[in-house]
Amino acid sequence: MTMAADENEEIRSLELNGQVGFNSLPHQVVRKFVSQGFCFNILCIGETGIGKSTLINTLFNTTFENEEADHYEQEVKLRSQTYELQEHTVKLKLTVVHTAGFGDQINKEESCKPILGYIEAQFEKYLEEELKIKRCLFSYDDTRIHVCLYFIAPTGHTLKSLDLVTMKKLDSKVNIIPIIAKADIMSKSDLGNLKKTIMNELKSYGVQLYQFPTEDEEVGEINSSLNDRLPFAVVGSTEDVKIGNRMVKARSYPWGAVQVENEEHCDFVHLREMLLRVNMDDLREQTHFRHYELYRRCKLEEMGFKDTDPDSQSFSLQEMYEAKRKEFLKELQQREESMRQMFVNKVKETEVELKEKEKELHERFEQLKRMHQEEKRNLEEKRRELEEEMNAFNRRKVAAETLMGQALQGCSHQPLKKEKDKKNFFSLPSACSLTSGRNVN
């Protein structure tokens, strides 16, 4: 009964009789955050050469070192650079992430994947730090993207399909602010028509842009007017041009100059007002309480965590951990068994293949062996035939030599006989003449 009475007891409002001191609490918070410093992370998405670096330099009135990109990147590469800035007593850790090579590939379907992966990787790092047993979020180097400045080329009368697809995939991950870059190349009427067309296409495609908060009485009117100016048509320049008696940031042309900070020339002043002076803290809060919380909830639901309804029984974190551990071990065992079975099947298939190959090799060996034996028999037969031909040739040779010898012997006796007969013939007349002489005497 006492507890019920205490719960039903109304909270009473009392007035202090004097100064206590807790009205200095806002000042304490301010001093604490000023001493700690702030961080702000900007993601610049746009084609190469559209003026991303120039606009960032113009926004912060300084020159940041940035590596120039070309149009020959094989894929989109995200380049992050961090700078330490200070304005009066406020320190700002600024991180600018550029998308080098965005839109330069022939196949642009994969252009937004590296960007989406980078944003989710920063959420994952923060979630890992948040889930640590010993964590230090107060001094954690927060790299989550707070705002995405999406640069739209002023070369057409509508958005490109790449722009629509990219912004649609990123609108639940980051605060998107569309910007028409190099707006000085278009007339005011064409620029106004392009703004209306872009907003109509984004609305019909379901792209959720960052809406400047209008609930606060101090900035509600300003933000309401800024919402009507989306997308911002901006011109960036770090060149000081003398106009009249003063130096201003402008772009010089033969026909005159486009002043960056002149509201009649472009929306640069409104962009800087919205981004840096009025809504920087809201962009940080939207990143944490909207985009990061959505990512965190999805990740924890994947891990098996869930919130309890007011009417349901509360759960024990230890029991949930044990249940998830058992589920994980069971899944791991199933995967191990599946891999073991897969390995056994693979070994069996390999053994069958090896046996088939061994059989093929054996058959090939037998075939080569038969071919070798057949060639050997053929060679033996040819050798015997050759030996028989050689023996026959030798016999014919001996017979020929014998006949030739006999012929040469017969030829040598016949000339001697002819010579003898010749001599006998010539000797007969001499004898006859001698006989006749004798008879005359």
| β-pair partners for 78 | 99
For 210, which DSSP code?
-
Structure tokens at 393: 């040739």
H/E element, 105: none
Distance between CA atoms of residues 348 and 183, nearest Å: 69
For 1-27, write each residue's pLDDT tens digit.
Answer: 444 445 455 677 777 766 777 778 888
- Give me the helices (H) in 60-156, please: 113-130
Beta strands in 244-390 (DSSP E): 246-253, 256-259
H/E element, 41: strand 38-45
User: CB-based contacts of 327: which residues, under 8 Å, 6+ apart?
Assistant: 304
- Give me the helices (H) in 287-316, please: 293-302
Residue entry with tokens 């004898």: 431
pLDDT of residue 343: 92
H/E element, 132: none
pLDDT of residue 76: 85
pLDDT of residue 385: 92
pLDDT of residue 382: 92
Residues in the chain, pLDDT under 50: 1-5, 7, 430-441
Interhelix angle 161-170/188-205, nearest 10 degrees:
50
pLDDT of residue 117: 92
Length of the chain: 441
Report which of 216, 176, 217 is spatially closest to residue 199, judged by C-alpha positions. 176
Q: Compute CA distances 74 → 106, 120, 150, 167, 266, whole Å.
A: 10, 22, 21, 22, 34
pLDDT of residue 129: 87
Q: What value, to the nearest 5°, has the Cα angle with vertex 168 and ends 94 and 234?
A: 50
Residue entry with tokens 């806002």: 26
Residue entry with tokens 């020159």: 63
Structure tokens at 181: 């870059």
pLDDT of residue 417: 58
CB atoms within 10 A of CB 259: 20
pLDDT of residue 4: 46
CATH 3.40.50.300, applies to 28-303:
yes
For 142, which DSSP code?
-
